[in-house]
Amino acid sequence: MTLSQRDVALIWHPYTQMLTADAPIGIVKGEGAYLINKKNEKLIDAIMDMRIHILRKKCMRSYKL
């Protein structure tokens, strides 16, 4: 089973329409703001900041800091 196949079989992606989405990109490591895929290409991680911001807002509302 490839990394992309394992991803689809085992991981829920809450912001992705799983029936129509392209195959996931196999990320094998990260370096700062970059993600390195299985083809050793560097990609900028521009999405994770958005998810962290959304989760942080929900946590802050829950704890009322």
Residues 33-64: tens digit of each pLDDT: 888 998 999 998 877 666 666 666 555 555 55
What global pTM score does this model have?
0.53
Distance CA 11, CA 8 (A): 6
Average pLDDT, the chain: 77
Nearest to 13 by CA among 2, 25, 29: 25
Burial of 22 (0-12, 13-18, 19+ CB in 10 A): exposed
Q: Which residue has the higher pLDDT, 63 or 28?
A: 28
According to the model, what pLDDT value does residue 45 have?
Answer: 82
- Could you state, in order of their start, the residue ranges of all structural domains in the chain? 3-63
pLDDT at 55: 62
Question: Given pLDDT bands bounded at 50, 70 and 90, which one contains residue 65?
Answer: very low
Three-state SS for 17? coil
